[in-house]
Amino acid sequence: MKLLLLLVVLLGVACAGETQATPIPRASNYQVPLVLPNAPGLSMAQGRFDSAVRLQQQGKLQEAIAEYTAAISLDPSLAQAYNNRGAVYMDMGQPETAILDYNQAISLDPTLAQAYSNRGKAYYDQGDLQNALSEYDEALRLDPRLVFGYLNRGAVYRKLGKPEKAIQDLDEAIRLDPRLPAAYANRSNAYRDLGKTKDAILDLGEAIKLDQTVTANFLNRGYLYDDSKRYKEAVLDYSEAIRLSPQLVDAYLRRGAVYGIMGETDKAISDLDRAIRLNPDIAVAYSNRGAAYNDLGQPEKAIEDLDQAIRLDPEDATFYSNRGRAYSRLEMPEKAIKDLDEAIRLDPLLSLAYGDRGNAYKLLGEFERAIQDYDEAIHLDSGFASAFANRAIALAELGEDAKTSDDIEKAVLFGFPREALEAAVRRTRGKK
């Protein structure tokens, strides 16, 4: 009897990026209504301006634009009205129109720091990072205490690949306003870029303490816990993200992956079912569910899911690797090898594919070729416990007792159960 060691591969969902991290707040930071001279025309403009601010704060954006426009008609010199109307256009996803209003605000009042900061945010949203940086520089030159200027410039520095400078700006934003959740969340992202996971987790903890309603903060901290192998804490954070946003596909994907790692396969499948119902076009959801089915000893279902994953994304090496594993489980080594050859072609550094192809060759009784693949898997991942274990079995088939014993010890060192492996080796030797 040949022992085939099959591991579930739950794809690492990409870390939450710019679109998933805490959004940069709109830097409008509405001003106190302007104090205008007591003249009939100006008084009417002030009233419309005040009404617009209230509507803007209530999220009534179209009504706010109408009121700002009315205020501007009554007094075309109201720089703050242009600035705030620009902020409304930003909230409506119209940065080009917003920039026109910010331009006019700056033309009327070249010292209005917030207009530069807001125009910087509009450039940022358009992907024009250098112009965004220049705008924030000018805003902070005019007003060194402009919190949102530091907050948003920090985001630009991070996007430019300068996390250290981002942290400096976010430190200053926090110094000026220690109760600004977005500053801690954004600084966490910069710490994550530097590999400072502990600091990143602490900052997200502070952001969550200040505001427990931001889904992205729980999602991102869950990812950091996940990456740190603190799986129970990751599950708690992903669960909270789901409570806040029950339609958030990424949270189900990630929690499902963690459940798989923890061996709670039924829960993993339940989460992946939900992710697929919410979005049936995510290839990784099918691949992960296929891996979970394989772990449950249901390779036929695994192959159905992996077929769909490959239809959606035929360039992902891991999908072929997972399907190859399922074919091996069905004792169809030729099909397994075909898939694993493709996985290795797509990603020559995918250690799991070499390990799985070694298993397929072992099923065919081609132990020398199996050992070559295990060698490569171990070369790519020196802590690959199951590759050592399977190589030990292949070596036992060839009567290489000393090498077999050495691989048993290495497999156990990296976490493979000694009793199961030694029993498999005894069965292999007993066949001879």
Backbone angles phi, psi at 159, to 5 degrees: -65, -30
Q: Is 129 exposed, middle or buried, given 0-12, 13-18 or 19+ CB atoms closer than 10 A?
A: middle
Q: Do domains 1-22+217-314 and 144-213 have the same CATH topology?
A: yes
* 261, amino acid identity: I
Quickly name the fold that domain 1-22+217-314 has: 1.25.40
Prediction pTM value: 0.83
Are the beta carbons of 431 and 10 closer than 8 angstroms? Answer: no
pLDDT at 25: 29
Nearest 5°: the CA angle 405, 411, 417 is 105
Whole-number pLDDT of residue 7: 25
- What is the C-alpha to C-alpha distance for residues 255 and 166, in angstroms, rounded to an integer? 30
DSSP readout, 208-238? Answer: HHH-TT-HHHHHHHHHHHHHTT-HHHHHHHH
Regarding the domain delimited by 347-432, which CATH topology (the fold level of the hierarchy) does it fall under?
Answer: 1.25.40
| pLDDT tens digits for range 296-351 | 999 999 999 999 999 999 999 999 999 999 999 999 999 999 999 999 999 999 99
The domain limits of the chain are: 1-22+217-314, 27-131, 144-213, 347-432
Provide the 10 A C-beta neighbour count for residue 21: 21
**Residue 42 confidence (pLDDT):** 53
CATH number, domain 27-131: 1.25.40.10
Give the residues of the chain that fall short of pLDDT 70: 1-42, 432
Question: What pLDDT is recorded for position 429?
Answer: 86
SS (HEC) of 35-70: CCCCCHHHHHHHHHHHHHHHHHHCCCHHHHHHHHHH
What is the predicted pLDDT for the residue at 34? Answer: 31
**DSSP string for 277-338:** HH-TT-HHHHHHHHHHHHHTT-HHHHHHHHHHHHHH-TT-HHHHHHHHHHHHHTT-HHHHHH
pLDDT (0 to 100) of residue 415: 95
Q: Are 183 and 148 in contact (CB under 8 A)?
A: no
Using alpha carbons only, give the angle 384, 386, 390 rounded to the nearest 5 degrees: 125
Superfamily of domain 144-213: Tetratricopeptide repeat domain (1.25.40.10)
Residue 5 has a pLDDT of 26
CA distances from 29 to 22, 117, 137, 374, 425 (A): 17, 10, 18, 60, 69
How many CA atoms lie within 13 Å of 268's alpha carbon, on the beta-carbon side?
25
